[in-house]
Amino acid sequence: MSAVLQNLVNQPYKHGFVTDIESEIAPKGLNEETIRLISAKKNEPEWLLEFRLKAYRQWLAMTEPHWQNVKYPKIDFQEISYYAAPKPKKKLASMDEVDPELLRTFEKLGVPMHERAALAGVAVDVIFDSVSVTTTYKEKLAEVGIIFCSISEAVQHHPELVKQYLGTVVPVGDNFFAALNSAVFTDGSFCYIPKGVKCPMDLSTYFRINTQESGQFERTLIIAEEGASVSYLEGCTAPQFDTNQLHAAVVELVALDDADIKYSTVQNWYAGDENGVGGIYNFVTKRGLAKGVNSRISWTQVETGSAITWKYPSCILRGDNSVGEFYSVAVTNHHQQADTGTKMIHIGKNTRSTIISKGISAGKSNSSYRGLVRITPTAENARNFSQCDSMLVGDQCGAHTFPYIQVKNNSAKVEHEASTSKIGEDQLFYFAQRGIDSEEAVSMIVNGFCKEVFQQLPMEFAVEATKLLSFKLENSVG
């Protein structure tokens, strides 16, 4: 293949810079003292400290899992600092009071916060190194009774809601990294949509990892009451660092009767350089509980960053007639590794799930789809359709598919199909014939390949994702 294309993927990370803000950092290492420190710093109630300690004790007894199809050097959990907060300044009354350094960072990332908030009508709950700095549009949301704030705020102001739902979807001892997160999570988002309310705008948080060598342990909890609906967006970028950073988040969604939660992610953490040095380890547990009748949970993700992506946004379809959806695009390049997919656990009657997964591997990267569709004996007339397609760009990458299908009810209908393809020279030639250079041709082919998933993204995310994919794959076809 042409040398022009060889240069297409190797674009340096555009969002790589470190903002110099004084951080308050806890000493490295993890023990009960650290946990008590985090809890005390955040002024948490006793039950939450107990929750953390319970998770920590379970974590101690657990071993790191090794079944996944990714390789990384052993993580020393005592070498990580578990708490980093920008130094508290006086309470902010308006946007003008936000640290100008911070604002400049967001500008570099192309997120003019106030503009975005005003023009796009999106409330951005900005997370900067584990502590929520500012929250916009809160009042507007409060009018209809929606609570949208950082989880630490929610712990202070709505402890009963947090206590009721925290850890119900992802129990503290669910897995090694979820237990770690439950023990040391510092911040994240909390969202509560009351009965019958349709959220008037897309909610979004903006995640960034900033302080070097501080793992981020986000905790997100979204609750949609009966008949409520919400679309939640999560986007991430991170500065360029050499040392690996661990990101072990937990996201819990609860949908009650007739509720509808749509969770979209664009993930672009720093992926390491072309030799595979540095980059984020993104080990995330995301799970939604479709608890009520006719509830619906939909995951859409565009995974382009991180040295290692390892996550399975899942749906537990407990309510009758509930619906689970998973739309995913995972792009890996250079030495990136991705092991991602979903779990659809059908428990209620007439439950339906759809899985569309598109994996694109380039360079020396490896991407895996690992999915589970389980139909339990109680799930009468369950229906699943899965499709996972892989595209290989270059002959040194790998694409893998591990679909588990477990059916214990004969009224179920489960279909799975997978295919593998590549960008053919004849396709590029066809584009060249029509005067389209190979760079643009690759971008068009890839975007066509991922169209089904991009259609699921909210408008502005779809635009961003399309751009992201193009520059991710620049120089990959050679």
Partner 1 sequence: MKTAMSNHYLECLLESLNDKTEETSDWLKQLRAQAIDRVSQLRFPTTKDEEWRFTDVSPLEQLPFKPAQTITTLKQEAIQQFFVSESTNRLVFIDGFYAPELSSLNDSNSCLIGNLSSMVTNQSSLAASHLGRHVHFQDNIFAALNTAFLQDAAVIVIPRNVTVTDPIHLLFVATQEKVTHSPRCLIIGESNSQATIIEDYVPLQQHAYITNSVTEFSLAENAQVNHVRVQRESNMAFHLSHCTASLERHSRFHSVDINFGGLISRFNLDIQFKAEEAECAIDGLTMITGKQLADTHTSIDHAKAHCTSHQQHKCIVDDNAHAVFNGKIMVRPHAQRTDSSQSSRNLLLSGAAQIDTKPQLEIFADDVKCAHGATVGQLDNEEIFYLKSRGLPDLAARNLLTYAFGAEILDRIPVASLKRTLEQTVLNQTQNLLTI
Binding site for partner 1 (CB under 8 A): 67, 375, 377, 390, 392-422
Q: Which lies closer to partner 1 via its Cβ, residue 36 or residue 400? A: 400
Q: Which lies closer to partner 1 via its Cβ, residue 50 or residue 64? A: 64
Q: Which lies closer to partner 1 via its Cβ, residue 267 or residue 386? A: 386
* CA 74, chain centre distance (Å): 23
Q: CB 59 → partner 1: shortest distance, Å? A: 21
Q: Any idea which residue has 């319970």 for tokens?
A: 54
Q: CB 324 → partner 1: shortest distance, Å? A: 17
Q: CB 428 → partner 1: shortest distance, Å? A: 14
Q: Which lies closer to partner 1 via its Cβ, residue 150 or residue 386? A: 386
Where b means 16+ CB within 10 Å and e means fewer, 129-145 reads bbbbbbbbbbeebeeee
Q: CB 360 → partner 1: shortest distance, Å? A: 11
Measure Cα distances from 69 to 97, 269, 315, 342, 398 in Å: 46, 20, 22, 15, 11
CA distance 285 to 303: 15
Q: Which lies closer to partner 1 via its Cβ, residue 173 or residue 398? A: 398
Burial category of 77 from C-beta neighbours within 10 Å (exposed 0-12, middle 13-18, buried 19 and up): middle
Start-to-end CA distance of the chain, whole Å, equals 5
**Which residues is 236 bridged to in the sheet?**
207, 267
Q: CB 413 → partner 1: shortest distance, Å? A: 5
CA distance 286 to 170: 8
Q: Any idea which residue has 């659809």 for tokens?
A: 344
Measure Cα distances from 202 to 120, 199, 227 in Å: 9, 7, 17
Q: Are 308 and 324 in contact (CB under 8 A)?
A: no
Structure tokens at 433: 């014939």
Q: Which lies closer to partner 1 via its Cβ, residue 240 or residue 354? A: 354
Say how many C-beta atoms besides its own lie within 10 A of residue 291's C-beta.
23
CA distance 391 to 218: 31
- Residues near 179 by Cβ (< 8 Å), separated by ≥ 6? 55, 56, 58, 59, 62, 172, 173
Q: Which lies closer to partner 1 via its Cβ, residue 236 or residue 399? A: 399
Q: Which lies closer to partner 1 via its Cβ, residue 223 or residue 362? A: 362
**Which residues is 124 bridged to in the sheet?**
204
Q: What angle do CA 399, 404, 408 make, to 5 degrees?
A: 165
Q: CB 392 → partner 1: shortest distance, Å? A: 4
Per DSSP bridges, beta strands 23-25 and 84-86 are antiparallel
Q: Which contiguous run of DSSP H or E holds residue 124? A: strand 123-128
Q: CB 88 → partner 1: shortest distance, Å? A: 48
**Which residues is 324 bridged to in the sheet?**
297, 353
Q: CB 376 → partner 1: shortest distance, Å? A: 11
Q: Which lies closer to partner 1 via its Cβ, residue 108 or residue 400? A: 400
Q: CB 399 → partner 1: shortest distance, Å? A: 5
Q: Which lies closer to partner 1 via its Cβ, residue 81 or residue 438? A: 438
Q: Which lies closer to partner 1 via its Cβ, residue 139 or residue 426? A: 426
Q: Which lies closer to partner 1 via its Cβ, residue 66 or residue 434? A: 66
Q: Are 300 and 293 in contact (CB under 8 A)?
A: no
Q: Which lies closer to partner 1 via its Cβ, residue 195 or residue 416? A: 416
Q: Any idea which residue has 């030639």 for tokens?
A: 429
- Residues near 68 by Cβ (< 8 Å), separated by ≥ 6? 310, 339, 370
Q: CB 314 → partner 1: shortest distance, Å? A: 17
CA distance 18 to 238: 9
Q: CB 416 → partner 1: shortest distance, Å? A: 4
Q: CB 417 → partner 1: shortest distance, Å? A: 4
